[in-house]
Amino acid sequence: MAWWAIAVLLASFVLSNALQDGDFSFASYYNDHMVLQRAPIKATLWGFLRNDAVNNLVAVNFNDKKYDAVYIKDTPRMYRWKVTMDPTQEGGPHVITATAGNLTLTLNDVLFGDVWICSGQSNMHLAVRQVYNATAEIADAANYPDIRVFTADLNMSVKPEIDLLGIAEQWSPAGPASIGNTTFFSATCWFFGRNLYDNLKYPIGLIASDWGGTPVEAWSSPDALKKCGMKTKRSQKFTGPSDHSVLWNAMIHPFLNMTIYGAIWYQGEANSRSPDTYNCTFPAMIDDWRAKWFETTNKNTNEMFPFGFVQLAADGKENVTVDGFPEIRWHQTADYGYVPNVRMKKVFMAVAMDLGDPDSPWGSVHPRDKQDVGYRLALAGRAVGYDDESLYYTGPIARIAKAGTAGEIMIMFDRVATSGLEVRSKIGFEVYCYKSGQPIWVLTDVKSKTGNSVVIGNPCSEGLRTSHVRYSWREDPCVFKKCAVYSGDLPSPPFILPVTAA
């Protein structure tokens, strides 16, 4: 072959292997201003490389160290590359570069801190600009440039997606623009993260991935649903964001390759019409998220990462028991609210039933007081997720109900703050009175308080037996935002207890 023909072939080979824009990239949610997970957890970086360019090995350079990527073939055209970095202490800003062949990618102004996923339905989606004192809260965000925020776009899929299908807000330092003036960043996510930062004093990354009106089944993988006897439709079509697994596929699964510290959740309203399965589907989802993040990040995300949630707030419908709100709250409380939590470790709860807002312009199911929600959630998160044993965060927990000899019932609480038990209202208690074929719940009042116990009347008439007592079993159980039992300014969650003999 003539020398010029060899030269042409060689030039053609070189040109065909030269990378162009789009042939080499980070995953969509790696960008300037982001937060990567701090030590002792190892942060991960990943992206895409053109299939026929795998000889252009990807290398990440950070802190004078080079990390060579590993590869996973995802499609006939693209490989996925991935790097696990050494643990990096909190702080920054840092510059990280990734190279492949003739191309270099750069991430600027990267901080290391704790990364939290914020998910759920409309009460997680409700934006900072929609809450009480929104103007002042948005202006105050300028004081928190080391909190960085990111919002996934609303998308659904019939299959697990490798990367996000869309981004509503790319990583941005907190400030008036990113928190509310031009965006709709989640208020619960923001106030939770702001409270964490005020106490931890290092960078916090907040990822909002939520969709209003959606049930827990949409955020659950087929594996999680299978544990509760539910099947995922195998159709290549979907009818909406409430379909099984479609939001897991599009809005959670893509994040599994990113190491995180924890997750918070505000959801349950969409399951209130059929609440009986929630006591399986919710813990199954938590277990599954943890297991899959742990596995996909090669054990770098903690297999028991902290998971917090907001117990359903009042819907502003006083004395209404329909819609299953009390049942959803009870499933949440019974499974997670008790301390120590034997069933679900590292799960924490914020009670919000006294934060109702019947005048909310967004509907009474969407209370505007997300500041208190974020405070209570962060308080519990610091205690459970960061092992701060000095904090009181639960509210009083009812343990025992005993029938007295004078037609009264004593309810004993533990997890009471040093300030003691406080009774702010006499209402909210009901006693289950029954005889064969005639059970009925009867309202009763608080008669007195002694130490860490309250005494309520026993309204069961002669000839009826007393079996159980329940508390705050209403859609809006707290009149004028005031429940009956508090401690340390935190309300007791709802409960049902059997009444034992004195």
Q: How many Cβ atoms are within 10 Å of 180's Cβ, its own excluded?
A: 23
Name the more confident of 482 and 421: 421
Query: Could you tell me if 144 and 39 lie in one domain?
Result: no
Average pLDDT of span 290-301? 96
With cut-offs at 50, 70 and 90, classify the pLDDT of residue 12. very low
Question: Mind spelling out the 3-state secondary structure of 245-283?
Answer: CHHHHHHHHHHHHCCCCEEEEECCHHHCCCHHHHHHHHH
Same domain, 139 and 175: yes
Percentage of the chain with pLDDT > 90? Answer: 76
Range of weakest confidence among 45-59, 273-287, 324-338: 324-338
Is 306 in the same domain as 415?
Answer: no
Identify whether residues 330 and 423 lie together within a single domain: no
Report how many domains make up the chain: 3
- What is the reported pLDDT for 303? 96
Angle (nearest 5°) at CA 254 between 248 and 258: 125
Identify whether residues 442 and 485 lie together within a single domain. Answer: yes
On whether residue 337 sits in a domain, the answer given is yes
Q: What is the mean pLDDT of residues 99-110?
A: 95
* Alpha-carbon span 290 to 304, nearest angstrom: 6
DSSP state of 212: T
Contact 150, 206 (CB under 8 A): yes
Q: Are residues 222 and 354 in the same domain?
A: yes
Please say which residue of 350, 385, 420 terminates a domain.
Answer: 385
d(CA 451, CA 215) in angstroms, rounded, equals 41
Residues 326 and 241 in one domain: yes
**56 and 190 share a domain?**
no
Q: Over 70: is that where the pLDDT of 13 sits?
A: no
Domain boundary among 53, 80, 110: 110
Residue 402 pLDDT more than 60?
A: yes
Domain final residue pick, 360, 385, 410? 385
Name the band, by pLDDT with cuts 50, 70 and 90, for residue 355: very high
**Cβ atoms of 391 and 372 closer than 8 Å:** no
Evaluate if residue 338 carries a pLDDT over 50. no
The pLDDT of residue 263 is above 80 = yes
Higher pLDDT, 387 or 51: 387
The reported pTM is: 0.93
Q: Is the pLDDT of residue 335 over 70?
A: no
235 inside domain: yes
State whether 138 and 259 are in the same domain: yes
Average pLDDT over residues 426-432: 93
Q: Is residue 391 part of a domain?
A: no
Separation between Cα atoms, residue 191 and residue 260, nearest integer Å: 19
CB 145 within 8 A of CB 113: no
DSSP state of 241: T
Choose between 72 and 412: higher pLDDT: 412
Residue 149 has pLDDT above 50, yes or no: yes
Calculate the average pLDDT of the chain.
90
Give a yes or no: residue 11 inside a domain. no
Residues 338 and 403 placed together within one structural domain of the fold: no
In a domain, 148, yes or no: yes
CATH code of residue 410: 2.60.40
Is 15 among the domain residues? no
Count of CA atoms in the C-beta half-sphere (13 A) of 281: 25
Does residue 16 sit within a domain? Answer: no
Give 9's pLDDT tier (boundaries 50, 70, 90): very low
Nearest residue to 188 via CA among 121, 242, 247: 121
Which CATH number goes with the domain that contains 201?
A: 3.40.50.1110
Residues 106 and 121 in one domain: no
Domain limits at 322? Answer: 111-385
118 in the same domain as 101: no
Q: Please indicate, yes or no, if residue 9 is contained in any of the structural domains.
A: no
Contact 101, 56 (CB under 8 A): yes
